[in-house]
Chain A
Amino acid sequence: MSHMPYVKPTIIQHINSLANKHGRGPSRHSLERIDGVSLTELLERFGSPLFVFSERRLRQRVREVRRAFDLRYPKVQFAWSYKTNYLDAICMVMHDEGAWAEVVSEVEYELALRNGVPPTQILFNGPYKPLPALKNALADGSKVHLDHYDELYAAEQIARELGRKVPVTLRLNMDTGVHPRWDRFGFNLDNGEALSAIRRLHAGGHLELEGLHCHVGTFILDPQAYGRAAARLAQLAIDVRRETGVPVRTLDLGGGFASRATLHAQYAPGTDSTPPVDDYAEAIADALLSAGFPPDELPTLLLETGRSMVDESGSLITRVVANKRLANGARSVVIDAGVNVLFTSFWYRHDVLPVVDRGGMLEDTVVYGPLCMNIDVVRPSVLLPPLEIGDALVVRPVGAYNVTQSMQFIRLRPAMIMIGRDGEVDLIRRAEELDDVKRAEHLPARFRKS
């Protein structure tokens, strides 16, 4: 009997030495626990696949981001961008850490209210705010970010009805040197539309310009894009002050800081190429502090950071359901979680690593989801050791956008848990059941079997 542990019999051909493209680097990784909690035990308890959120990690990150800004600028307020992840447990952590809410629909607005956020601490963005929602938000003192002229007219009408001047924020877009350009939201600053809108708003006499807002884009890797945006917002605010005599009280730089995920198109891993949050803070604070505001009129800096706050606190644990050789000899595995719950796979080169590495040769592997759809690819290529049916893998980071954009396509959505600060484990969303999905449907009587 050998003293060596058993590993799978494997043979790998050297194709243009590609089998060695990773050198003899120590590229073996596995992850048995998150915050000390065994992932194998979690799967046994809650089933597979399973979203796992770390409260510790989330709070650490929020504090790190907040600190970067607090150190550099005296008046900063974060608002949690709901669409990034609106699991109640996540939102409550964010609010507990002092964040307001940033919402982009009446649905999200309602969610924020239900989480106990006062209307005055809700920033309301988005190109479509149904009239009743717009009315409520303005009446209750939420910070409404007007997206276009029609919304401006509607807001004026509401102010007239309310019989008082109503503060609003204008959303702006501009060329900050990033691509793609988010120029479909708000008023354009480059072509003068923004300034005309402000003049028009002021002349109308019903609205008061409280703030300026600009969301540059998402996963922005260049902190200087924020420096440019902040400088231009600040300059506009100063011009407006001179022209109207009314100071702009808030400048909102939106969200968009990159998380440390790795994009498919990136060469270096996100852990190396994503700028530290201090760089973003530095660029924004520099621009604002050097803009020339009188000290007593320094505007409050609002930020709607989503992805960068929550992405790395989320992991997806999944099990291997099949090993398979493709027609060209390439190795693939099928796992029990697909792109219906891992929307970011289209964009991210997620870390995929075994919970337990039982040895054996690493081999380039395609990781497929379980959907009967050709696009269901979680990783087109990743080095993995031999895996057995039932072996668990970790996919990360998955904290941003996956939960909110997941759907019950072909398979239902899995359970989600949060590991608390003391290692306590709580179910924060149970696995979906067929009735959850079907409850909203109605079958006409004529189709019912008696």
Chain B
Amino acid sequence: MFDNLALSDNGFLFDTRTGSTYSLSSTGTLLLRSLIAGAAPDGLPAVLVDEFELDGRTAAQDVEQFLLRLRDLRLVASDTPPTEAV
């Protein structure tokens, strides 16, 4: 479902369907890359926790906000359920 998103390692994103371009931070790039690779949204906080010294609650909140942004920008379908912040 993300075959329209061309994401490069330096965080430059091109949406082939809309022509819009974006910049992502390194963590944003990591998360979106995981989504593109098929990760479930629920699994994303763990991706952050594995990669950084980060508590689970911050990871969950940051992921939730990031997914909301992706939804606002219509990069993910609006029915993708956001992960529950704990």
Which A residues fall within an 8 A CB radius of B? 1-2, 4-14, 19, 323, 325, 329, 360-361, 386
Specify the main secondary structure of chain A where it touches its partner: loop
**B20, B23, B75 pick with most chain A CB within 10 angstroms:** B23
Give which listed residue, A11, A329, A386, contacts B24 with CB less than 8 A.
A11
B36 lies within 8 A of chain A by Cβ: no
A12 CA to B48 CA, complexed, in Å: 20
28 contacts between A and B (CB under 8 A): A1-B50, A7-B26, A8-B62, A9-B27, A9-B31, A9-B65, A9-B66, A10-B25, A10-B27, A10-B28, A10-B66, A10-B69, A11-B13, A11-B22, A11-B24, A11-B25, A12-B22, A12-B23, A12-B24, A14-B23, A323-B65, A325-B68, A325-B69, A325-B72, A329-B72, A360-B25, A361-B25, A386-B25
Which of B27, B54, B62, B72 gathers most chain A CB within 10 Å?
B27
- In the complex, what's the smallest C-beta–C-beta distance from A385 to chain B, in angstroms? 10
Contact B51 A11 (CB under 8 A): no
Q: Which residues of B contact A14 (CB under 8 A)?
A: 20-23
Least distance between A116 CB and chain B CB atoms (Å): 54
Q: B52 to A2, Cβ gap below 8 A?
A: yes
Q: How far is the CB of A203 from chain B (nearest CB, A)?
A: 76
Residue on A nearest B63 in the bound complex, by CB: A9
Size of chain B's interface in residues, with CB distance under 8 A? 29
A6 contacts B53, C-beta separation under 8 Å: yes
- The closest CB in chain B to the CB of A359 belongs to B25
Task: A1 to B70: give the CA distance in the assembly, Å.
Answer: 26
Q: Give the contacting residue for A1; candidates B27, B52, B68; CB below 8 A.
A: B52
Name the residue in B26, B31, B32, B73 with the highest tally of chain A Cβ atoms < 10 Å from its Cβ. B26
Q: How far is the CB of A237 from chain B (nearest CB, A)?
A: 63
* Contact status B51-A2, CB under 8 Å: yes
Of B23, B52, B70, the residue contacting A6 (CB under 8 A) is: B52
The residues of A that contact B24 with a CB separation of less than 8 Å are 9-12, 361
Q: By the criterion CB–CB under 8 Å, are A13 and B73 in contact?
A: yes
Instruction: Give chain A residues whose Cβ lies under 8 Å from the Cβ of B75.
Output: 11
User: What A residues does B30 contact at CB under 8 A?
Assistant: 9
